[in-house]
């Protein structure tokens, strides 16, 4: 790789290479899943906050302006890069099952399913994750970084088409619970694009945390942050959650909430041709991206050509192999012996690469590596007309930040509001991420007290020493790692700028069990955006892939955001995906 400064082709008269330009800034850059969240983070940067302060501000704001797919009481896995030390930290941001949770309940009373509603609640982790990030790595108060979100919730924002579509499509789901209908079906119907959408209870809940913090700030910033945390996990919000669960047959207790805290650990990482790519732990699917890169590293990807049939085939087979390991081995390391070192080893990756035939699609669900043992993977096949499997749930967003000091922040907040009720009077849903556990005896991610589901949201961060630092990520359920892989390779191998890399046509396989209840699969299914030449799809079909097409740049293919800090020139480059209302901003 060249050591010359990274820059897109900005020569006069050159033809446009992307729908949007790659943005450039000398001081700060932020990219987030909604433009108002980007603005909330940018306001904090301009006020003197660092990357963590701004990332938390944007993340909380996403839980307002995308509250259909991100919840303030949801999940928020985070990576933080400290420029001064060079260390990358992971903040888990994922809750666990309440102490009263029993697998037998779901097997005997619910037929081995995890029903929508309060029974899929795990402990809300996002508030603690945001506050922990501020405590450990930030400089501002909770109230300062949450001010933008409070304003957007109280005063409202203009409803935009994608959220309006989600609310309309899920109107019957919201109507199941009066507390949800009161927020998302005002006047008995979902708000239309162009309406002003307000969430006054949510504004009051976040403001209550800020007020509790302010009452203790005389004792110092950390004491104030601790008071904000208690307001959620021990104060009025906790009381509302527990009361509702007691009334509706839920499992969450005061003890569950009071005893909760996220984990802060060194991030996992692998080396890809001199670039360190980081992930959160095996409690999420993030390490699958690292496995994919390890498998692909020995191959001359540039020689295959971008989005040619051999290239798409190779990546698809690598993805299937990594997801076979994800299904068999990934789980909460506090409860399951995950063979972490073996899964991320180069030697193991070479064994997996050797399983890929260049001229035919591999098994619909290839076997997982036996390290030293693996469960057999049975596929629950989706029906021929079940498009839900290839329409990844709108259930996540993302934010990336690099500040003037070179610190970086990468977070993937999530949790939709249409399969779990709003807690009355709070505007908050208590995390329904239990949908990513299994009601199946013997599964490594089976339901159990204190056990975490296997989370799809997974922020990433790439560092090439002396050259660049790049936080990047996307929503998209099981498509996340696939979109992140393609975008990273577009930059690292094919030399695209961040915006070109994000906008480039993508593809995704669904030949594995879904991470979401009911965990079905579409064996052999390969979805491709139709900006890829049809002849490529025909060649792939000829070697055994079941090819279907997404129209144009589809929101189903993810919504990548990335910020690349060029350490040679000092420029921060930002890109955001036009597939959804994601935007970048810098200065």
Flag whether 290 is in a domain.
no
Flag whether 32 is in a domain.
yes
Beta strands in 238-309 (DSSP E): 264-266, 268-272, 275-279
pLDDT value of position 223: 97
pLDDT value of position 149: 98
Could you give the CA distance from residue 257 to residue 242 in angstroms, rounded to a whole number? 9
Flag whether 16 is in a domain.
no
Flag whether 534 is in a domain.
yes
Q: Are 264 and 287 in contact (CB under 8 A)?
A: no
Q: Are 68 and 163 in contact (CB under 8 A)?
A: yes
Flag whether 354 is in a domain.
no
pLDDT by 10s per residue, the chain, length 587: 444 566 655 443 333 467 889 999 999 999 999 999 999 999 999 999 999 999 999 999 999 999 999 999 999 999 999 999 999 999 999 999 999 999 999 999 999 999 999 999 999 999 999 999 999 999 999 999 999 999 999 999 999 999 999 999 999 999 999 999 999 999 999 999 999 999 999 999 999 999 999 999 899 999 999 999 999 999 999 999 999 999 999 999 999 999 999 999 999 999 999 999 999 999 999 999 999 999 999 999 999 999 999 999 999 999 999 999 999 999 999 999 999 999 999 999 999 999 999 999 998 888 888 877 676 777 777 766 665 555 555 679 999 999 999 999 999 999 999 999 999 999 999 999 999 999 999 999 999 999 999 999 999 999 999 999 999 999 999 999 999 999 999 999 999 999 999 999 999 999 999 999 889 889 999 999 999 999 999 999 999 999 999 999 999 999 999 999 999 999 999 999 999 999 999 99
pLDDT value of position 365: 83
Q: Is the pTM of this model over 0.75?
A: yes
**Per-residue tokens: 217:** 């700030």
The Cα-based distances of 319 to 135, 270, 271, 369, 432 in angstroms read 37, 16, 18, 14, 27
Output the 3-class SS for 540-577. Answer: HHHCCCEEEEECCCCHHHCCCEEEEEECCCCCEEEEEC
Q: Which is it for strands 468-473 and 507-509: parallel, antiparallel or unpaired?
A: unpaired
Tally of CB atoms within 10 A around 466: 9
pLDDT value of position 366: 86
Q: Which is it for strands 29-32 and 78-82: parallel, antiparallel or unpaired?
A: unpaired
- The dihedral through the CA atoms of 454, 459, 464, 465 has a sign that is negative
Based on the number of CB atoms within 10 Å of its own CB, is 545 exposed (0-12), middle (13-18) or buried (19 or more)?
Answer: buried
| Domain at 431, CATH number | 3.60.20.40
pLDDT value of position 6: 64
**Per-residue tokens: 204:** 């009051």
Flag whether 164 is in a domain.
no
pLDDT value of position 392: 53
Q: Are 152 and 36 in contact (CB under 8 A)?
A: yes
Flag whether 477 is in a domain.
yes
Alpha-carbon 478 to chain mean position: 10
Number of domains in the chain: 1
Flag whether 418 is in a domain.
yes
The Cα-based distances of 53 to 39, 329, 356, 410 in angstroms read 13, 35, 44, 12
pLDDT value of position 11: 42
Could you give the CA distance from residue 207 to residue 152 in angstroms, rounded to a whole number? 12
pLDDT value of position 389: 52
pLDDT value of position 15: 39
Cis peptide leading into residue 518 (ω within 30°)? yes
Alpha-carbon 233 to chain mean position: 24
3-state secondary structure of 356: coil
| Domain interval for residue 217 | 21-156+198-283+381-587
């Amino acid at each position: 790789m060249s050591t010359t400064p990274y820059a897109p082709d900005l020569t006069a008269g050159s033809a446009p290479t992307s729908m949007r330009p790659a943005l450039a800034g000398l001081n700060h850059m932020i990219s987030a899943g909604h433009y108002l969240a980007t603005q909330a983070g940018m306001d904090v940067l301009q006020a003197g906050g660092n990357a963590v302060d701004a990332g938390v501000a944007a993340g909380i704001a996403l839980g307002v302006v995308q509250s259909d797919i991100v919840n303030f009481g949801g999940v928020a896995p985070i990576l933080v890069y400290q420029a001064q030390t060079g260390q990358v930290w992971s903040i888990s941001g994922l809750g666990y099952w309440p102490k009263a949770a029993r697998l037998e309940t779901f097997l005997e009373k619910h037929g081995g399913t995890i029903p929508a509603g309060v029974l899929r609640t795990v402990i809300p982790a996002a508030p603690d994750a945001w506050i922990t990030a501020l405590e450990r790595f930030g400089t501002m108060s909770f109230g300062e970084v949450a001010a933008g979100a409070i304003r957007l919730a109280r005063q409202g924002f203009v409803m935009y088409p994608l959220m309006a579509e989600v609310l309309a499509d899920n109107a019957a789901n919201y109507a199941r619970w009066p507390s949800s209908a009161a927020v998302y079906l005002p006047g008995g119907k979902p708000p239309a694009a162009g309406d002003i959408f307000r969430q006054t209870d949510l504004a009051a809940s976040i403001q209550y945390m800020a007020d509790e913090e302010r009452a203790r700030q005389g004792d110092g910033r950390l004491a104030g942050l601790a008071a904000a945390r208690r307001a959620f996990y021990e104060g009025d919000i906790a009381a509302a959650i527990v009361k509702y669960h007691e009334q509706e047959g839920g499992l969450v207790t005061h003890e569950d909430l009071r005893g909760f805290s996220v984990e802060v650990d060194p991030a996992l990482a692998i080396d890809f041709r001199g670039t360190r790519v980081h992930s959160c732990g095996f409690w999420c699917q993030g390490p699958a991206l690292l496995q994919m890169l390890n498998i692909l590293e020995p191959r001359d990807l540039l020689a295959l050509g971008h989005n040619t049939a051999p290239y798409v085939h190779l990546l698809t087979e690598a993805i299937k192999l990594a997801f076979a390991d994800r299904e068999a081995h990934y789980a909460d390391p506090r409860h399951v012996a995950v063979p972490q070192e073996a899964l991320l080893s180069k030697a193991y990756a070479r064994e997996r690469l050797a399983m890929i035939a260049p001229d035919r699609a591999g098994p619909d669900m290839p076997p997982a590596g036996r390290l030293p043992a693996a469960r057999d993977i049975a596929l629950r096949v989706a029906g021929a007309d079940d498009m839900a499997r290839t329409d990844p749930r709108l259930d996540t967003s993302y934010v990336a930040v690099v500040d003037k000091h070179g610190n970086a922040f990468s977070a993937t907040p999530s949790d939709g509001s249409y399969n779990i009720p709003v807690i009355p009077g709070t505007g908050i849903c208590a995390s329904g991420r239990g949908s990513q556990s299994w009601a199946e005896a013997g599964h490594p991610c089976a339901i159990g007290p204190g056990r975490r589901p296997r989370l799809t949201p997974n922020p990433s961060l790439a560092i090439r020493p002396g050259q660049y630092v790049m936080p990047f990520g996307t929503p998209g359920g099981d498509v996340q790692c696939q979109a992140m892989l393609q975008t990273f390779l577009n930059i690292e191998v094919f030399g695209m700028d961040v915006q070109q890399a994000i906008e480039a046509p993508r593809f995704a396989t669904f030949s594995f069990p879904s991470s979401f209840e009911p965990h079905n699969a579409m064996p052999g299914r390969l979805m491709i955006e139709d900006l890829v030449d049809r002849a490529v799809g025909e060649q792939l079909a000829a070697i055994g892939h079941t090819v279907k097409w997404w129209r144009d740049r589809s929101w189903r293919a993810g919504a990548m955001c990335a910020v690349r800090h060029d350490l040679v020139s000092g420029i921060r480059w930002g890109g955001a995906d036009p597939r959804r209302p994601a935007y970048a901003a810098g200065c």
